[in-house]
Amino acid sequence: MTINYTCYHVPSSCENDIASVPFQKLTFENHGKKIELSVPQITPVLIESVMDKLKQQQMDYLSTLRTNDLIDVFDQAIERWLDPEYEFRKLAEELLPVITGYDREMIRLFLSRYLRQFRKIKLQRMIDEDFPNPLVLDEFRPKKSGGMYRAYGPGVITHIFSGNVPALPLWSLAAGILLKSATLGKVSSSEPLFPVLFAKTIADIDPKLGDSLAILWWKGGNQSLEEVSFKSTDAVIAYGGKETIDTVRKKVPAQTSFHAHGHKVSFGLLTKECLQTTKAWQAAKLAASDASWFDQQGCLSPHVFFVERGGAYSPRDFAQMLANEMNNFQETHPRAKLTDEEHQAITKLRTTIEFESFENSNLTLLKSENGTDWTVVYREWIENKQFPFSPLNRFVTVVPIDNVYEVKDYLRQIKGFVQTVGVGCTPQSYFSIVHLLGEYGVNRICALGSMPQPEPGWHHDGRFHLADLVRFCDVEFTLEEQMDLFDVFRD
């Protein structure tokens, strides 16, 4: 049986334009099911028409709203999505596993945990993190140094969404809506559904706000479409690998602000105290979760765990515990089906390590019995302290260290490209570890077991989530002081 769904969202005034173009089908097959998503074949003329409508709606309606009004709408949308019986939530739980290949239960759990990060109080924290006085998004506010200032979001933002993790575009969508920016979202071929469903929820709650959103698919790299959309937008936010980011960057006009989020790497760090008695098994379970969620496809997923020697259990023992826990995770949340290229990458690296381990007792390969479901490599020595990158899809390396400062040797190669470090440590070592990691360019430090789920207000890629997108208008105190001179009621 094939499931069909028409997958796009545009302002209501553009529906007739959409009806005039042919549709094509994006086909996905996983878990014994097949889905066909019907998407309109976008043309430059259609994109130009959509952008004109978005600009007009932003000026006529979106710009007139208060930030708290937008937070309330977003919060209502989130509450609907947290209801397991909500029609779009049920549809997402049915279709996303087939589209992505990920385990159905993992997607269900992730959606519930992830969506809670966008409730009202979380969105308020997100704004408070970037703006000392959140009211600057609504009106001119006094500056401590004198004068006044206000922040203005872009009129229209074009988002190039990634599709490696379902629902991830919600961060970018939230940023645009909170800044009163109209949205043109280009969905990924890997996961084109969730942004469309969420936009439809917004439109159902507030149709006029829904008319400031357009979520469409087109094949990445389409010169004519991207030229029109980038020319008509005020800002471009792009997610993807180096090749994607470089390609988009070249097409964005000089006068349009460009905000890139390219691929980063992450790792885990455990002190010896984490390997005491039952704590070691708890740490292994948390580490396995970090390494297994969405098959390491996100930048927040660890490639390696650095484990300090001197605990009741050795780093080698920890590697075996980690392997056991990754096998347990596989039992409850099976990994997605791999492409031939992904399977070959793991098989090739496994074979290389196996041959090397015959002559090296300090290297051990632990792997799933049937297939490439998970892999743990224990490696005591790495030439020139090279960071052991993973081919992903639940493939991690455990590297023993004598003390946490030894991690510096591995970070030199990747300084500036580390997204997240999941840490297991004691209160006594907490400050020394965070200072060490911060100085070496790490963007986010979190507890072991929480790597895939950043908190609201985190500085993605070490930058402001919202403040980087706005322009500020300053009114200097000189005008405030001088205006009394021209006061018509002055004596």
Cite the residue boundaries of each domain of the chain with CATH code 3.40.309.10.
Answer: 265-447
Which pair of tokens denotes residue 167?
């629902």
- CATH says 2-263 is which class? alpha beta
> 221-237: buried (b, 16+ CB within 10 Å) or exposed (e) per residue?
eeeebbebbbebbbbbb
Distance, in Å, from the CA atom of 365 to the CA atom of 377, rounded to the nearest integer, reads: 5
Residue showing tokens 């002190």: 271
The beta-strand segments (E) located in 116-160 are: 141-142, 148-152, 156-160
CB 184 within 8 A of CB 142: no
What pLDDT does 384 receive? Answer: 85
Q: What percent of the chain has pLDDT over 70?
A: 100
**Residue 259: per-residue pLDDT:** 94
Q: Which regions of the chain carry the CATH code 3.40.605.10?
A: 2-263
pLDDT tens profile 343-359: 999 999 999 999 999 98
* DSSP-derived pairing of the beta strands 213-216 and 182-186: parallel
pLDDT one-digit tens code per residue, 45-99: 999 999 999 999 999 999 999 999 999 999 999 999 999 999 999 999 999 999 9
Nearest to 101 by CA among 168, 42, 32, 52: 32
> Given pLDDT bands bounded at 50, 70 and 90, which one contains residue 112?
very high
Residue 318 has what pLDDT? 98
Angle at 293 between CA 288 and CA 297, to 5 degrees: 115
Q: Alpha-carbon distance 106 to 294, whole Å?
A: 8
pLDDT of 463: 87
Separation of alpha carbons 456 and 115, rounded Å: 11
What are the pLDDT digits (tens) for 372-421? Answer: 999 999 999 888 899 999 999 999 999 999 999 999 999 988 988 999 99
CATH class of the domain whose range is 265-447: alpha beta
The sign of the dihedral angle between the CA atoms of 346, 349, 352, 353 is: negative
How far apart, in whole angstroms, are the C-alpha atoms of residue 414 and residue 489? Answer: 65
Which conformational region is residue 210 in: left (phi greater than 0), alpha (psi within -120 to 50 degrees), or beta? alpha
Can you tell me the distance from the alpha carbon of 143 to that of 248, in angstroms, rounded to the nearest whole number? Answer: 37
Measured CA to CA, the distance from residue 308 to residue 491 in angstroms comes to 77
pLDDT higher than threshold 80 for residue 491: no
